[in-house]
Every structure is written in structure tokens, then in C-alpha cells.
Structure 1
């Protein structure tokens, strides 16, 4: 079942141990959200009610489960998010292996990304998410221009693709090019979870990736996903937890690989 959603296209990306392996497209609401802002200036409550994204209507069990996930994580209220700041952190036990800081101006379609690459070089890049072009960038504090600036923009865009999707996947289930299938139930009696299968039709950098998302049937919250990545790698199951209220959103801030110490966490979150 292929579905169409709202927003300009964000992207999916899967994580290598120290970096980013882009996967497929998910939506960037920036420019379109700005275009859909009200012309008039209503009261605060009226404005919040107007800045809502209706849950898409998709028939069948996959569509019903996707709607439950979308609504449980604040999907209809996503247009209210003007700015989103967060730090994407990869850990092995208590050791921090990688971190990238994002200052995402959602309505402007721009992200400032700061990270240190595998060679120990510190990047600070402001990228336009529609064009993938950097407006400015520094490497170890020194401004870059020309081809290095172009490469910096693409690198920052791919970081945003990866990191934002890990954080926001539950409200991206109706994005353009996403195909939904119902995968039945898994788990023991009393802890049964419904499975929502996500695949991608001709979008993104690795459209062959596929996800089996395990959903709490009572709350619509994501408890885990199994990643089938493009290529010959075996699937990995990652547990999702640490739910928090973040302005109009409700999101889990911890991702832990089943049976290991590898983990992704999100901290220093800021939602406006």
C-alpha cells in the first residue's frame, strides 16, 4: 500500500557505527509549512488549531495502525514546530562515540549542523534543506569556500537526513513514497505488538531498505524496529524507549540495539 502525506521531502538514513549511511526520503516540512502559515493573525488557540496536519485516511489494517502511530507521537501537531534543536549521540555503553548537534529552523527549511568527523575535524555547517547547499561553513574554525563548501553542504544534509529520521520516524509514516503493510503480531501473550512494515518506492539514497516497526496496540507507541538494510547485512532489531513530551510532540529519546551496548540517544532537546 503506497501512501502520500504532507510536507516537502526529509529523508531516511541508517547509521553506520561512526557515521551515516543515507537510506531513503522522509519529509522536510520547512518550506511548505511556511507557505501554509496563516495570512491573518488569529489568537493563540485559533492559531494552534489552524496549524494542524489532518491524519491521512488510508484504508486497511496498515493504514489504521500507521494513523495510530502518527497521532500518538504528535503528527497532527507537527506544523506547530517552528524550531527543533537536538543532539544525536551514538554510545557504546557509557562511552560517547559520536555526536552531532542540530539547530533546525523548521519553517525556514534550514539546519545548522555541528559534528566531528572520523578524522577528528570539526565541522559547523548551515545548510538549506531544499537545495542541499551550505550558506556558510567552517572546518576547525576556518571558513571554507568553493568546492569544499559544496561538499560541506551535502555532508550536513546527509547528517540531517539520518539524525532527524531516527528522531521523527513515527510522524513520517505517511510521507510520499512510503509503502505500508500490516505485518501481524509478535511477542508473548500479554505483551503482543502489532507490526507496521515500511518500505520505499523509488525515493531516497538507499530505497531498498525496509523496516518492521513494532507498535504497542494500546498506545500507538513504537517499542522496536527491525532494520533490513540494502545490501547483504543481516537485520538488526533496535529497542525504542524513554518517551518524553516535547512541546506538541511525544517522542522516544533512546534507541538500544537488542543484545548489545550500542545505543543512540537524543539530548539537549529544544522545541519552539
Structure 2
């Protein structure tokens, strides 16, 4: 006979009616994407590519050394090296690009890295692209500070706490500003990363190429 606790867990899984602490969800998403293994990372490299069906819009390459805060940046013929712990005025534009590009790749870790975010568990929700349902965690940033103050993300994740879709809400708007799938997971040194994101109707795509992680 199934125990009462197992029955309750089953009810929670299928009907999503049980109260779930959002901080617990954030920790599980962090863990499912190899958060514990990121502490060992000495170097991570990737190329951030944005394209539409007609053309490629962005191609930027990065090598980040988390332990020393050093960053190497390449875009076309431009090559820049800087130290994130000692930012100069001339580094601000490159740092903004790094934050954007690395955030797309490493968002699951920001759930625990970023301070002052407001988390809320929304239960089962249909994916905006029509499939699902998946469970959803909303992540709202403080109104001040950072590069995108007051923005919100709604994260759709599966039963293994892997992200499968997300929407971005500029200034916490009710309607999403942008949404993409999370596809093409590959594992690097125990860290699963989604390497492909697709916008609605194939309007745009984000890819991560030349990904490497050295522990």
C-alpha cells in the first residue's frame, strides 16, 4: 500500500497545489545545472551568437577566469583584456556585454549568486510557446542597482529542475518583452548548459559555440 507521504507527493507533483518555498526551488535549479561543480571552475570560454533567419547579428567570444576575475574579450578584430575586480571607466562597455552574454549562459547560477532578488513560486503554468505545463519560478530584481534594475524573469522548469523556457519582463511588465526556449543541453565538467535558445516563431536564435570549461 502506498504510504500517505508518497500519496501527498504524487498529488503535489500532478496538481502543483502544495506550497513550495521559492528559495528551495532556486537551490534545486542551481544544483540541477551543476552549481556545486562551478566552484571548481578555473576557466570558462564561449562564443555568444545572435542571429535571425536572414543574418547573423552578434558574435562575441569570451574567456573568463572566475578565480582571478580576469576576462578576455574578442569581437571581430577587437581584443580586450580586463580585470572585473578593478574596473576602469574604459571597461564599462565591455563589462556590460560580458554581463549580458554570460547571464544568458549561466543564469541558473545567478539564482543564488545575485543579491536582493525577489523569488516567487507560481506553480504549474503552460509554456508560452504552447507546450507544457511546466512549473514556474519568477525572479524579480531590485528597483535600483545593476544593469537592468527592476526587471523580472519567469523561469519554466521540468520535474528535474532543468530550465526549458523563460520570459524576460522589462521593468517587471505584465506582458513579456522577450521569450526563448532552453534547448541543446550539453555537459561540461559536470555542468549542464543550454547551448541554444529560440525565439517565438523562429524570429531569432541565440547559440553558444566553442564552449569549454576547465576545472
User: What TM-score range do you get, normalising by the shorter chain?
Assistant: 0.7 to 0.9
Number of paired residues? 190
Q: Point out the more displaced range, 239-248 or 202-211.
A: 202-211
RMSD (CA atoms): 2.2
Higher helix share: 2
Question: What aligned pairs does 1:101-250 form with structure 2 within 5 A after superposition?
Answer: 101-116=61-76, 122-133=77-88, 150-151=89-90, 153-174=91-112, 175-187=114-126, 191-201=132-142, 202-216=144-158, 218-230=159-171, 235-250=177-192
The runs of at least 4 aligned residues of structure 1 exceeding 4 Å deviation read: 231-234
Is the 1:177–1:203 Cα contact (8 Å) retained in structure 2? no
Cα distance in 2, alignment partners of residues 96 and 85 from structure 1 = 20
Is the 1:88–1:266 Cα contact (8 Å) retained in structure 2? yes
Cα distance in 1, alignment partners of residues 71 and 95 from structure 2 = 8
After superposition, the C-alpha distances for 1:99-121 in whole angstroms (9 at most, x for unaligned) are 100011121101011114xxxxx
For structure 2, which runs of at least 5 residues remain unmatched after alignment? Answer: 1-18
Aligned match of 1:251:
193
Q: TM-score, length-normalised on structure 1?
A: 0.65
For structure 1, which runs of at least 5 residues remain unmatched after alignment? Answer: 1-58, 117-121, 134-149
Is the 2:37–2:189 Cα contact (8 Å) retained in structure 1? no
Is the 2:167–2:176 Cα contact (8 Å) retained in structure 1? no
Cα distance in 1, alignment partners of residues 157 and 54 from structure 2 = 28
